[in-house]
């Protein structure tokens, strides 16, 4: 993610071969995302109409299946691109579109580069600081969850979650996007 963040901050040119969301995807996700993020549905639809799905890019060098920066969603492989476009993976697509809604909350009067920087700054900031300056961020809460899950002798239901997954799952912005995705799946 840091490599992707650095590329976005530098203003690295986007690829020209993005795949837009279909009208059906936008129509299905817009009401739920509007409700989850407290935004007017017309605004959500406008942002979803700008979403582009890309292969590679910043996702090529990360352990995650997807990286969302601004209106662009990058996936690592052709199989993942096919999957995220399909109905069976609608939770994943709506999760990534949740990150687009987080980006949409950045001030519209800023340039695209400034908006991306603000969004990525918040994302990276939440690695260290949680919901307030007095709460720990994903690095610390994820480390605690990982230690509890894997090394607590009283935990008999170990799933052996990895440290990266624990940090991802406790990240404030990831949690918000995941709650929105789960709410979307419940409506479909």
Rounded distance, CA 50 to CA 5, Å?
20
Residues 6+ apart with CB under 8 A from 75: 53, 54, 55, 59, 65, 66, 81, 84
- Nearest by Cα to 68 from 24, 45, 102: 102
- What pLDDT is attached to residue 59? 81
Tell me which H or E stretch contains 156. none
Instruction: Summarize pLDDT for 12-63 with one digit per residue, the tens.
Output: 445 557 899 999 999 999 999 999 999 999 999 999 999 999 888 888 777 7
pTM: 0.85
Q: Span 99-114, mean pLDDT?
A: 95
Name the token pair of 42.
Answer: 């017309």
pLDDT digits (tens, 9 = 90+) for 113-147: 899 889 989 998 988 888 887 888 888 888 888 88
Look at residue 139 and give its three-state secondary structure.
Answer: helix
Regarding predicted confidence, which is higher, 86 or 4?
A: 86
Cα 188 versus chain centre, distance = 20
């Amino acid at each position: 993610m840091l490599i992707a963040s650095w590329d976005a901050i530098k203003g690295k040119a986007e690829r020209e071969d993005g795949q837009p969301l279909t009208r059906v995807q936008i129509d299905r996700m817009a009401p739920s995302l509007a409700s989850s993020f407290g935004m007017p549905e017309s605004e959500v639809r406008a942002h979803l109409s700008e979403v582009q799905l890309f292969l590679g890019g910043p996702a090529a060098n990360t352990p995650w299946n997807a990286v969302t920066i601004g209106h662009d969603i990058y996936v690592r492989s052709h199989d993942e691109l096919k999957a995220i476009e399909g109905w069976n993976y609608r939770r994943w697509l709506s999760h990534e579109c949740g990150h687009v809604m987080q980006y949409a909350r950045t001030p519209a009067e800023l340039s695209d580069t400034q908006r991306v920087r603000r969004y990525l700054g918040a994302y990276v900031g939440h690695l260290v600081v949680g919901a307030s300056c007095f709460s720990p961020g994903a690095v610390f809460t994820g480390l605690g969850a990982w230690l509890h899950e894997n090394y607590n002798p009283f935990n008999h239901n170990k799933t052996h979650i990895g440290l990266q997954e624990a940090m991802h799952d406790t990240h404030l912005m990831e949690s918000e996007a995941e709650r929105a995705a789960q709410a979307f799946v419940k409506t479909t």
